[in-house]
């Protein structure tokens, strides 16, 4: 029983990684760089702007497939 659960979890994880495109990965990398830049600044206005830009990049990349994989994903952006 436990083995079957582990196997199902592994299959689910593999199917989720198959959904991530090259564009998604590139956008995530770009958004992560902006978020790191935001964390490093002492200017709160600039931090908010950088985080908002990173969120927009992530949201747009997630919708590159027409929302097929992100249609039900909640928007958890702290910049809104």
Q: How many CA atoms within 13 Å lie on the side-chain side of 37?
A: 15
CA-to-CA separations, 16 to 1, 43, 54, 76, 77, in angstroms, rounded: 23, 37, 22, 20, 22
Residue with tokens 């592994």: 10
Q: Return the structure tokens found at 3.
A: 């083995």
User: Which is nearest to 30 in space by CA: 4, 6, 53?
Assistant: 53
SS3 75: coil
SS3 27: helix
Question: Tens-of-pLDDT digits for all 80 residues of the chain?
Answer: 566 676 566 656 555 555 567 878 888 899 999 999 999 999 999 999 999 999 888 888 765 555 555 554 556 667 76
């Amino acid at each position: 029983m436990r083995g079957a659960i582990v196997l199902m979890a592994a299959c689910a994880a593999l199917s989720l990684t198959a959904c991530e495109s090259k564009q998604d990965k590139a956008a995530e990398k770009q958004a992560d760089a902006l978020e790191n830049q935001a964390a490093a600044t002492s200017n709160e206005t600039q931090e908010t702007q950088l985080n908002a830009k990173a969120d927009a990049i992530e949201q747009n990349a997630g919708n590159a497939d027409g929302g097929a994989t992100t249609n039900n994903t909640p928007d958890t952006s702290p910049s809104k």
